[in-house]
Structure formats: C-alpha cells, structure tokens
C-alpha cells in the first residue's frame, strides 16, 4: 500500500454517497482511510435529498390512491392526513440509514471524524478540533448546497433542506425554479392539500427533458391545481405580521404565500476546504475541476460527486467514488466512469423518466431520427376514472433504428425505465424490442408494442 510516512493512505472530506463508497472500497482494498463529515453521515441523498424525498412522494401518492380506492370497491371512512406523523417517521428512518452508513464504514475500519476538515498544507489536513493529520491522497466529496438568488427578502426563503422539517403543510406555497426539486415538491405539497405555484425565470420546466414529457407533466400538474408562472424574477419578499409573505414578481401583482421555497439549482461546497492553500483549480460555477479519473490539477487530490458538478446525481457520485477507489487502491487497471447515457427520473406526480437523447438532441446529432410514441391511459386510471394519460416515446437513429433515447411519463415510469436503460446503454435497436414478447396486461408492455 501507500507511503507509511503519512497517518493515512486516504483522507475523504465529506461522507455523502460518493465519499462513503470511495472510503469503504479503498479500505476494502487495504488502504488506511479516514473521513470527515461536519453535518451528518450520508450527505444530501440520505439526510435531506433523494431518500426522505422519496418517502414523502410515497406518502403523497396515498392522497390519490385513497381517492381511487372507492372505484375499486373500498369504503374508507374518516381518512385524514397527519403531516407531523409522516415527517417524524421519515426522519426516524433517515437516522436509521445514517447509522447503517456509519456502521458500514466502521466495519471497514474507516476512521470517522464528525467535524470540519480543511487542507492546510502539503498532504496535511487540519480538523475543527485542531487535530492535524497527514495523508497520502485526499478525496474531496463535499457535495453541493441549494442556491438562493440575491433579492430583497431572500432570507425568508426556505430550501428543500428545510422542507423536511416543517411544522405543518403550508396552505399556499410559492416554489421558485422549474427543475427537479420544484416539480417533485410541487407534487408532494399539492397532494397534501397545499395550493402550489411554481415560478421560473425561463419559459419552461425541466429543460433537459424531452418536450413531450414536459408538456404532459405541465398539463397534468395544472389539472391537479398546480399553477405555473414563467419568465419572471422575484423583486422582493416581505414578511407580514401574520407570518405570511408578500411576494412581488416582475409583471405580476403582489401575491401572498404562507411559504416560499427556492429550488433554483445547487452550488458546489468548495469554501473552507483549503483549496487555495493546496492550489486546487475551481471552475466558473465554483466546481472543482477534475480529469476523467476524478483527479484535480494537484497530483494527490481528487474529487467526486456534486462538488465537481459533472452530473449531480447520487448514482453517478457512487460510481465516481467506486472508480476512484478501485483505480487508486485496487489491483486492476485504472478506469474512468462513463458519463454518457445516464438514466434519470423526476419523482413528480406522475413521475417522468428518461434515458439517452431527447428528440431535439437526437435531431441535432443524427439529423434524421424516427420517433415512436404510445399515448395511453393506464388500466388503473381508466377504472379509477382518473383522466390522466401516460406517454412513452422512443427515439431511434433514422439510418439503422438504433435506439437513441426512451422517455416516459406515467405511474411507475422510473421502475420501468431502469430495465429499458440497460437496452439503450447496450446499443439495442427497435427490432430487439419488437422481438420481445409483451407481459400483459402491464404499462411496461407498451415499450415492446410501439408502432
């Protein structure tokens, strides 16, 4: 293993998804590893992101399922919703997962410091307690945090970090931004009975997704009562004596909300890490610049996950952490993560999911493309009398029918798409899907019946 002149072979700053995977795998390869986390072990995904959010999405879905249940013969008397009960249950489970993460690291003999860590010299880390340690390699996996624009009253705005801890569901909430978090929390709050308004600076939501999915999500969201405002910015927010907020947006009369939440992107956590001391280069979005092996411009310092702002998704950070640890501490050849053809989902109501190129990207890159679409009402919605249609879109290379992208909105779309993503990643053609027998009756069978 590495040079014994240092206290550790690897010191990881930040124990989120990427940092955990890298530390555990490096230790499993025999490295002496320490890791520091100033908040809670698990990072954004486990503590204040994907995991608790998905639990809220499940909780929110019951609003529709209980309503639909009557059409399936059920009588549900006295149904009511208790936000505090759900919130506390979710937070208990988050703590459970946090301890699972901690146990896993400790079982691999990763030494955990629950405090801030900063690079203070060559191969040197100083902890908040004043302890100074040395390490052969440093991995920065400090993640990202919500961005809030600067405007008068911006201090009144909450972020998704706070949304998990609210005392109550707001009667009326304004969500700034039109991306992942805005649409996911719009669905959650709307299902829990809040009046939700989404306000975005541009003229669209979820700009990286195929336009057909965006349109369909907007249509369905509006039918459910979510309001969309576009092309505006916040001029000011004032807190009134009754605790509500007076919000002035460009071109819109002043409106009152119980809560305003910003979901306007996330910025890399690079402050206070000693990057200047170490001479680590940072890009114009504040991200740590790395090469394909996650190495910075400083030979012994690496970075993975959201702090590098390559693709801000947990599974990507995990793959980057794994590749880093295997490449530096394993026996095999170094390898890089393939950042192409990454499937992604938005857990809106209903969810949307994509893998590969959207139609615009496909046309830009391939010129001639063939598009196959299925626009249908899932059986469960038909029986429930829910007028909500799903959409599946497959985009193929016009020259050879190779699948370039698949896009779907509808119940269980992310569960279905994970398997389809294997086929797209493997470079399969439409004919391979056509040759596959359907599983009937399912929503997923539409994928092999596209005409």
Residues 6+ apart with CB under 8 A from 349: 57, 60, 61, 64, 187, 188, 190, 191, 220, 221, 224
Report residue 264: phi and psi, to 5°: -115, 50
Please, what is the minimum distance in Å from the beta carbon of residue 258 to ligand NDP? 21
CB of 418 to ligand NDP, least distance (A): 13
Give the binding site for ligand NDP (CB under 6 A): 149, 177-182, 184, 200-202, 204, 207, 263-266, 312-313, 344-347
- DSSP E strands in 169-225: the ranges are 172-176, 195-199
Cβ of residue 208: shortest distance to ligand NDP, in angstroms?
8
Between 201 and 380, CB nearer to ligand NDP = 201
Can you tell me the distance from the alpha carbon of 307 to that of 380, in angstroms, rounded to the nearest whole number?
42
Give the residue at shortest CB distance from ligand NDP: 179
Whether 312 contacts 266, CB under 8 Å: yes
Q: Which of 47, 33, 37 is nearest to 114 (CA)?
A: 37
In DSSP terms, 345 is beta-bridged to 353
DSSP assignment letter at 438: P
> Which residues are paired to 409 by β-bridges?
352, 391
Pick from 152, 172, 366: nearest CA to 255: 172
Nearer to ligand NDP, 343 or 378 (CB): 343
* Distance between CA atoms of residues 7 and 18, nearest Å: 22
Alpha carbons 202 and 197: distance in angstroms, whole number: 15
Nearer to ligand NDP, 43 or 274 (CB): 43
Q: In 75-191, at which residue ranges do the beta strands (DSSP E only) sit?
A: 111-113, 117-121, 124-127, 132-140, 144-146, 172-176
Cβ atoms of residues 182 and 308 within 8 Å: no
Minimum Å gap between C-beta 23 and ligand NDP is 22
Nearer to ligand NDP, 140 or 263 (CB): 263
Least separation in angstroms between CB 177 and ligand NDP: 3
Which one, of 369, 344, 339, lies nearest residue 354 by Cα? 344
State the nearest-atom distance from the C-beta of 53 to ligand NDP, in Å.
Answer: 7
What is the closest distance, in whole angstroms, from the C-beta atom of residue 396 to ligand NDP in the complex?
Answer: 25
Kindly name the residue from 114, 147, 339, 440 that is annotated as catalytic.
440
Q: Of the two residues 287 and 312, which places its CB atom closer to ligand NDP in the complex?
A: 312
Q: d(Cα 400, Cα 387) in Å, to the nearest integer?
A: 37
The residues near 54 (Cβ < 8 Å, ≥ 6 apart) are: 347
Whole-number minimum distance, CB 263 to ligand NDP, in Å? 4
Task: Return the number of other C-beta atoms located less than 10 Å from residue 325's C-beta.
Answer: 26
> Is 440 tagged catalytic?
yes
Sheet with strand 245-249: strands edge to edge: 234-239, 245-249, 255-257
Nearer to ligand NDP, 59 or 177 (CB): 177
Write down the residue that tokens 């709307």 correspond to: 190
Active centre residues (catalytic): 440
């Amino acid at each position: 293993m590495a040079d014994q002149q240092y206290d550790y072979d690897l010191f990881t700053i930040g124990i989120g998804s990427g940092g955990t995977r890298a530390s555990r795998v490096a230790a499993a390869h025999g490295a002496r590893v320490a890791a520091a986390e100033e908040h809670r072990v698990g990072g954004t995904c486990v503590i204040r992101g994907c995991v608790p959010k998905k639990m809220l999405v499940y909780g929110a879905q019951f609003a529709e399922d209980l309503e639909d249940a009557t059409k399936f013969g059920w009588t549900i008397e006295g149904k009511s919703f208790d936000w505090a009960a759900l919130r506390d249950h979710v937070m208990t489970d988050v703590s459970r997962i946090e301890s699972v993460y901690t146990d896993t690291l400790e079982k691999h003999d990763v030494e955990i410091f629950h405090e801030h860590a900063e690079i203070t010299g060559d191969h040197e880390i100083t902890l908040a307690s004043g302890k100074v340690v040395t390490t052969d390699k440093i991995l920065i996996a400090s993640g990202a945090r919500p961005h809030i624009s600067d405007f008068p009253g911006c201090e009144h705005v909450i972020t998704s970090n706070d949304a998990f801890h609210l005392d109550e569901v707001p009667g009326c909430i304004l969500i700034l931004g039109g991306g992942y978090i805005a649409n996911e929390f719009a669905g959650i709050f709307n299902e829990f009975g809040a009046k939700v308004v989404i306000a975005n600076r541009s003229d669209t939501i979820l700009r990286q997704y195929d336009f057909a999915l965006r349109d369909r999500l907007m249509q369905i969201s509006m039918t459910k009562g979510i309001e969309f405002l576009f092309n505006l910015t916040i001029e000011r927010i004032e807190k009134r004596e009754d605790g509500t907020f007076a919000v002035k947006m460009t071109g819109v009369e002043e409106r009152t909300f119980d809560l305003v939440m910003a979901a306007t992107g996330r910025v890399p956590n690079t402050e206070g890490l000693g990057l200047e001391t170490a001479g680590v280069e940072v890009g114009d979005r504040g991200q740590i610049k790395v090469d394909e092996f996650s190495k910075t411009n400083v030979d012994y310092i690496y970075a993975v996950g959201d702090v590098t702002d390559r693709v801000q998704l947990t599974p990507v950070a995990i793959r980057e952490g794994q590749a880093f640890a295997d490449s530096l501490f394993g026996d095999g050849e170094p390898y890089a993560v393939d950042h192409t053809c990454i499937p992604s989902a938005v857990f809106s109501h209903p969810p949307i999911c994509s893998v590969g190129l959207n139609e615009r990207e496909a046309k830009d890159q391939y010129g001639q493309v063939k598009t196959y679409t299925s626009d249908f009402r899932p059986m469960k919605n038909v029986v429930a009398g829910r007028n909500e249609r799903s959409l599946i879109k497959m985009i193929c290379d016009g020259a050879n029918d190779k699948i370039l992208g698949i896009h779907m909105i509808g119940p269980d779309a992310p569960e279905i798409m994970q398997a389809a993503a294997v086929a797209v990643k493997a470079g399969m053609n439409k004919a391979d899907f056509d040759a596959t027998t359907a599983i009937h009756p399912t929503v997923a069978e539409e994928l092999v019946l596209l005409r």
